[in-house]
Amino acid sequence: MTPYEIIKNKCDERLTSVRKLELALNLSNGYIKKQTAPMSNYGKAKQIADFLEIPVEALTGNPEALEERKTADSGSEAIYETISSQYGEGASEAVKFLLSLDSEDRAEIRGEMRQMLRLKKYQDKLENLNA
């Protein structure tokens, strides 16, 4: 599948046109139609991929990355549904947000949460000692 075909399919899924995508990203008219080989301009490929929420690798020579993303997304959906049913919509929305972050941001949040939990344990111990 060529980058153009991938982009065209994604635009069709979103009920928009390739031209509207080009306009939204300030690309020249027909730029995307010319993408019949893996994209060599990583910056533009990344810009398009981010906008369409697809892996940039799909446009730079690895169309199978789209299938890998679908598999990961289906796992994420299962987690989302489980948490929604057990803990309510608020918790599932938090998980949905966390899943939308990149791994570096998730790691940073995980570290912050560990610190908060340690602080909470420490505060609980102090309250028990003072009681």
Residues 84, 73, single domain; the answer is: yes
Domain containing 94 equals: 69-100
- Residue 65 has what pLDDT? 76
Q: What is the DSSP letter of 81?
A: H
Do 43 and 19 belong together in one domain? yes
What is the pLDDT, as a whole number, of residue 88? 67
**17 and 43 co-located in one domain:** yes
Residues 58 and 84 in one domain: no
pTM: 0.53
Q: What is the pLDDT of residue 17?
A: 92
Total number of domains constituting the chain: 3
What pLDDT score was predicted for residue 7? 93
Is the domain of 54 the same as that of 79? Answer: no
Three-class secondary structure of residue 37 per DSSP: coil
Contacts of 82 (CB under 8 A, 6+ apart): none
Asked if 57 and 73 sit in the same domain, the reply is no
Burial class of residue 88 (count of CB atoms within 10 Å of its CB; 0-12, 13-18, 19+): exposed
Q: In one letter, which amino acid is 104?
A: E
Q: What is the pLDDT of residue 57?
A: 87
Residues 94 and 108 in one domain: no
What local confidence, expressed as pLDDT, does residue 35 receive? 92
The gap between the terminal CA atoms of the chain, to the nearest Å, is 68
Nearest CA-CA partner of 33 in 8, 13, 4: 4
The answer to whether 91 touches 38, Cβ cutoff 8 Å, is no
Q: Do 37 and 79 share a structural domain?
A: no
* Full pLDDT tens readout for the chain, 131 residues: 899 999 999 999 888 899 999 999 999 999 999 998 988 888 898 899 888 888 888 888 887 877 765 555 555 566 666 666 666 666 666 766 776 777 777 777 777 877 887 788 778 777 787 76
Residue where one domain finishes, among candidates 63, 85, 115: 63
Please give the C-alpha separations between residue 117 and each of 11, 114, 120, 122, 125, in angstroms, as whole numbers: 43, 5, 5, 9, 12
Give residue 69's pLDDT.
Answer: 58
CB atoms within 10 A of CB 58: 26
Determine contact, residues 54/6, Cβ cutoff 8 Å: yes
Same domain, 79 and 114: no
